Amino acid sequence: MDVAPKLPAASSCARCGGTYVLTDHSVHEEYAQARFCGCFPDPCPSCKGTGFAITTDAQGRDIAARCPDCEKVRNRIKLFNLARIPKKYSHSKLSREDRDEENKAIYNLLKVILKNYKDLQNPPKPEEADSRRPEAHGLVLMGPPGTGKTHLMVGFVYQCTIREGINCMFQGFSALLSELKAGYSAGKSEMQIIAPHLKADVLVIDDLGKGRNTDWELSVLDMLITERYNSGKLVMVTSNYTEEEETTFKELLRSKEKSEEERFMADTIRKRVGERIYSRLKEMCYFVTFMGRDRRLQMLS
């Protein structure tokens, strides 16, 4: 039997929003980090700071068990710290303050995706076994640079790790390629680096389609998507490339032989990733084009 939680409600804490967890960044750490908020009582009232609490088993015997309060918060801090969140996005949380008319539809969809995912983790009751279960759909969020796609996806990771205790990994695709190349030089196998991306319950791939689009790059992406497709694990994606040439990212070509009008390439996401990967993503994810103002430029003006 679990010990009844004895922690005071933290919902009134303006710093952590009731999670007992603060997220921040440090020059000494490569990624954003989470830690206990000051509102978490010290020592913990459930275990008096020992990390263990006394409970009883089915036979009424006293047993020492991990403190349910300390352990829950500590585990969620660990999940966030292992998610590899870029420092710049240490405060992205899908907070109400960041919600506006442009992104509210994405907010709502992310909530639906998380709810459906959580529902699927709980086995149905016998009387509900034949009822329709929600689908574990991810999201491919497409649109121009600066609209806040990465900010929204990191907020989703925050909700998964800190609010729900779900194992996540955030990965910029270009950064993964660089890590693989460095790993080859260090004698690491490709699978040593890729394995954590396959094990995570939720994988966020940022900036899909970025790069030279070589056969090797596509083979790495194919392995990631195919393995997660086969295991039924959630994939979340951001990309500047959309499904339509009119809205997709237009890249300037370097050839001097072409006129200015002809020097722009407008690949769709389908062309950038190929038919095999595109087909799998279409089955696994919602595809949403997110058009809006460039928030980076707005902040600079």
Ordered by start, the domain boundaries in the chain are: 21-74, 83-300
Digit-coded pLDDT (tens) for 14-30? 899 999 999 998 878 89
Q: Output the pLDDT for position 97.
A: 93
pTM of the full predicted structure? 0.88
Q: Output the pLDDT for position 4.
A: 41
Residue 51 has pLDDT above 90, yes or no: no
Which range (78-92, 154-168, 182-196, 259-273) has the least confidence?
Answer: 259-273
Cβ burial 21-32 (10 Å sphere, 16+ → b, else e): bbbebeeeeebb
Instruction: Give residues with Cβ within 8 angstroms of 248, minimum separation 6.
Output: 142, 240, 241, 242, 266, 267, 268, 269
Digit-coded pLDDT (tens) for 216-249? 999 999 999 999 999 999 999 999 999 999 999 9
What distances in angstroms separate CA 226 from CA 34, 220, 221, 229, 277, one per listed residue? 32, 10, 8, 5, 8
Q: Look at 259 and 93; give whichever has higher pLDDT.
A: 93
DSSP annotation string for 110-156: HHHHHHHHHHHHSPPPGGGTTSPPPP--EEEEE--TTSSHHHHHHHH
Q: Output the pLDDT for position 5.
A: 46
Q: Output the pLDDT for position 81.
A: 97
| Residue 54 backbone dihedrals phi, psi, to 5 degrees | -90, 130
Q: Are 140 and 269 in contact (CB under 8 A)?
A: yes
Cα separation, 86 vs 171, in Å, equals 9
Digit-coded pLDDT (tens) for 122-178? 766 666 655 655 667 999 999 999 999 999 999 999 999 999 999 999 999 999 999
Report CA 134 to chain centroid distance, whole Å: 20
What superfamily would CATH give domain 83-300?
Answer: P-loop containing nucleotide triphosphate hydrolases (3.40.50.300)
For 65-84, what is the mean pLDDT? 92
Share of the chain above pLDDT 90, in %: 66
Q: Output the pLDDT for position 116.
A: 93
